[in-house]
Amino acid sequence: MTRQHPVARALELMPNRPGPEAHPALPSPELDRIHIERLHVHGRHGVFAHERANGQDFYIDAEVWLDTRAAADSDDIVDTLHYGHLMRALYEVALHEPVDLLETLAERLAAVTFAFAGPQAVRITVHKPQAPVKLRFEDVSVSVLRYRPEGPEPTAPRRPTARAVIALGANLGDREAAIRQAMDEIEALPGVWPHRRSRLYETPALTTHGVDDSEPSYLNAVMTVHTDLEPHALLRELLRIEDQHGRVRAERWGSRTLDLDLIEHGGLEFADETLELPHPRAFERAFVLAPWAEIEPTATIPGRGAIAALLTQTTDEVRRYRG
């Protein structure tokens, strides 16, 4: 079964255009607002063939009207519009859905905004500073104001149920690009909320025979996310991302374009034929513990203890990657 893009349904259900009379409270008296400015996308929008072929820089502003009182009271991100998720949705549409007109792009971006629960109105402005006009100018933009279509709000937003720790590594190809792209892909998964990312660390290649200096060295990082995916579902997504990056599983601990390990999930302790939590070797690996300690210095591994103390007991070499 083909997996539908998270915003595909929103694009199919373009918002109708009821004016302020359908929303007498908007925008006066004015509700609270979330304002995103100058979201950069290198897109391929335009009526000319060279615009579609070469692309150019676009910038997106989104001004969203909503009621933030529930979130202010609970101090919980699930009670408001997650602007990081909205930015990702806007970015994906502007990057992957080429159109001729800025007006069409702005309309689609408004549609995506209403795929989230909460927004009651949105002003989308799309800037095209490199428009192919042979005159001196700084910018061209199209701005649209849209109100939530009449009808029910989207279903209640998903809420995270656990924090997960994920270790990333690569020693083939463009290691840094692979890890950073994988972080973006993990954070964009449905049912995953971004939390923290470590910096990159470099370590010698570790094989079944120990450290092998003849193999390319690894870049490693650790990220934490919040999720409502159960551990096996999250693991399946990690394996899918590995496959998309050309991971070949010909040899245990062999060189790889990308390695994603689920280290911990909600403090669970269990093992079956496909997954063991916490990861059975994380407690002895400096290339996991060092980046993890950077972003969660007081974290512990169930059954093993504090990662800061565990790190002092490791002997493998790990150093901060300088690029």
Identify the active-site residue in 88, 108, 127, 128: 128
Distance CA 278, CA 275 (A): 9
Q: In the predicted model, is pLDDT for residue 25 greater than 70?
A: no
Distance CA 245, CA 227 (A): 23
The amino acid occupying position 179 is I
The encoded tokens of residue 86 equal 């909205």
Range 279-305 average pLDDT: 95
| pLDDT value at residue 12 | 53
Distance CA 323, CA 314 (A): 24
Mean pLDDT of the chain: 86
The number of angstroms, rounded, from the C-alpha of 11 to the middle of its chain's C-alpha atoms is 20
Instruction: Please answer whether residues 147 and 26 qualify as being in contact, where contact means their C-beta atoms are separated by less than 8 angstroms.
Output: yes
Active site residue 128: yes
Range 3-20 average pLDDT: 50
Place 201 in a pLDDT band, splitting at 50, 70 and 90: very high
Q: Are strands 201-203 and 319-320 parallel, antiparallel or unpaired?
A: antiparallel
pLDDT tens-digit map of 138-176:
999 999 999 887 666 666 667 789 999 999 999 889 999
Place 316 in a pLDDT band, splitting at 50, 70 and 90: confident
Range 129-141 average pLDDT: 96
pTM for this one?
A: 0.60
Query: 175 phi and psi, to 5 degrees?
Result: -60, -50
| pLDDT value at residue 15 | 46
Range 63-84 average pLDDT: 90
Q: In the predicted model, is pLDDT for residue 1 greater than 50?
A: no
| pLDDT value at residue 18 | 47
